Structure 1
Amino acid sequence: MIQDLFIATFETLYMTFVSGFIAILLGIPLGIALYMLSKSDKNATKTWYSVLDWIVNIFRSIPFIILIILIIPLTRLLTGTIIGSTAAIVPLSIAAIPFMARLAETSFNNLSQGLLDTSVSMGMTNRQFILKVLLPETAPEMVSNITLLIINLITYTAIAGAVGAGGLGAMAINYGYQRFRMDVLLYDVAILIFLTQIIQFVGSRLSNSLRK
């Protein structure tokens, strides 16, 4: 059983961090786009913001277990299967990208208006503003956002385990609940809690160090 727990833990971490990396890679730029579009006074730009905002809200509104079912054709197209840890990365990423984008946009909106006005008066381009002001000034909050994202993904992997994704969630259901092995169920829960606590500790320490 120890070997099974080790494999399940590895599968959970694999799903979490690969989908988390994809969500960070695509979600933060999407959050930047939402923020920059919302600050523009042009009607065409406002229309683009409304479209992106609408898309993000739609994907955030779909329960994860339903999202897994809805994108089965896409999952099969990208991975060749709908079962296993690699297949689970597809719905995990799709659920996490808009979540990360909204967290990023919220952090950007908390940026001081004075910094925005100063960058405009200095004649900064959008690229310069993003790289020299927006991202550096919100770095501590962004680390907190990423920490929250990863913790949520751990929860999502447990849900995905119910439909054949593997990991600790699948082990808890298949070996713990269905075979009435309460010890297996408790071990899985303990590992999930431990992983969450470690990630929260590391994320909080890193965020606090950036604030200093």
Structure 2
Amino acid sequence: MSNILEYVRIFLEDNGAMISQGIADTLFMTFTATFAAYILGLPLGILSEVTRNGGIRPRPILNKILGIIINIGRSVPFIILLVAVIPLTRLLAGTTIGPKAATVPLIIAAVPFIARLVETSLREVDNGVIEAAKAMGATDLQIIFKVMIPESLPSLILGASLATITVIGYTAMAGTVGGRGLGDIAQRYGYHRYQPDIMFVTIVLLIILVQIVQNVGHIASKKIDKRGKGEM
């Protein structure tokens, strides 16, 4: 037991600062990119749902264009996107290295994914509720913000946790092109320098981070789910 504790002490002395910085970089990239992507992806998803056939304001041509944009965005592998948007990353971030630069491709990759999650969540709203709101004279904006979003909020929260988890996975890939974070540490030390202990620690930390996000999203969704309370 004393040998294990001594090994842990030495490991933390040698690598603690690096791993702490990796955690901070991963958290920065994850939450900055997810927040920014929701600013763009939320209205895109709402617009896609509203303009579909059967939506509250059908616009087939616009909906088709939105669908193509979202599908193309979701089809590009993230590792390829990282390289493809390097000129844009340099333009917006002033550099192509580090967490700040990595947020640019992370946002681009997350926006279409989030838009589809939002669209799917809104589509779960009972049409009867929407029709009742229309019968009461509610405007389109009132239906969106006072009916559709509140009714689909539990699903939207679960979608947000899923989007955050996906971005965490993307940050690990961003490390391969200098994005830093836990993925970069795993690659540089665990893979290139054959240090399996560092690889193991980064994997465990990423798993813990994913579980925290997943559990928080699940708990928050259950707390505000009126249907779940009604069943109890």
- TM-score class, shorter: over 0.9
- Residue 137 of structure 2 corresponds to 123
- 1:145 CA displacement: 0.2
Query: Unaligned regions of 5+ residues in structure 2, if any?
Result: 1-14
Report SS of the residue matched to 2:51.
Answer: helix
Which residue of structure 2 lines up, in the alignment, with residue 51 of structure 1? Answer: 65
RMSD across aligned positions (CA): 1.0
Residue 69 of structure 1: SS of its match in structure 2?
Answer: helix
Structure 1 CA distance, aligned partners of 2:57 and 2:42?
A: 22
* 1:198 corresponds to: 212
Q: Distance in 1 between matches of 2:57 and 2:90?
A: 42
4+ residue stretches of structure 1 with deviation over 2 A? Answer: none
Q: 2:174 aligns with which of 156, 160, 163?
A: 160
TM-score, with structure 1 as normaliser: 0.97
Q: 5 Å matches for 1:60-75?
A: 60-75=74-89
TM-score when scaled to structure 2?
Answer: 0.88
Q: Which has the higher contact order (CA 8 A, sep 6+)?
A: 1
Partners of 1:109 and 1:138 in 2: CA distance: 8
**1:151 alignment partner in structure 2:** 165
CA drift of 1:188 comes to 0.3
Aligned to 1:189: 203
What corresponds to 1:83 in structure 2? 97
Contact 2:56 2:140 in 1 (8 A): no
Which residue of structure 2 lines up, in the alignment, with residue 5 of structure 1?
Answer: 19
The one-letter amino acid paired with 2:150 is P
Give the CA deviation at 1:149: 0.4
Residue 11 of structure 1 and its aligned partner are, at CA, apart by 0.2
Per-residue deviation, 1:78: 0.1
1:103 Cα deviation (Å)?
Answer: 0.4
- The whole-number CA distance in structure 2 between the counterparts of 1:145 and 1:23 is 13
Amino acid at match of 1:205: I
Match in the other structure for 1:100: 114
Alignment-derived partner of residue 32 in structure 1? 46
Kept in 2: contact 1:40–1:46 (CA 8 A): no
State the alpha-carbon separation in 1 of the partners of residues 151 and 195 from structure 2: 49
| 1:73 positional shift | 1.0
Share of identical aligned residues, percent?
43
Q: Does the aligned pair in 1 maintain the 2:50–2:56 contact within 8 Å?
A: yes
CA distance, structure 2, for counterparts of residue 32 and residue 41 of structure 1: 11
- The residue correspondences of 1:132-143 to structure 2 (distance < 5 A) are 132-143=146-157
* SS of structure 2 residue aligned to 1:120: helix
Indicate conservation of the 8 Å contact 1:19/1:92, yes or no: yes
User: 1:95 & 1:120 partners in 2: Cα distance?
Assistant: 36
Q: What is the CA deviation profile of residues 112-143 of structure 1, one whole-angstrom value per residue up to 9, with x for unaligned ones?
A: 11012112211211111111101100110000
Cα shift at 1:7: 0.1
Gaps of at least 5 residues in structure 1 are none
CA distance 1:4–1:41, change in 2 (3 Å): closer
Secondary structure at the counterpart of residue 132 of structure 2: helix
Say which is worse superposed, 160-169 or 32-41, in terms of deviation. 32-41
- Taking structure 1 as reference, are residues 166 and 183 closer, same or farther at Cα in structure 2, changes over 3 Å only? same
Larger radius of gyration: 2
Q: Output the CA distance in 1 between the equivalents of 2:147 and 2:69.
A: 27
- Listed one character per residue, the Cα deviations across residues 5-47 of structure 1 (whole Å, up to 9, x for unaligned) are 00000000000000010111111111110011112575xx211
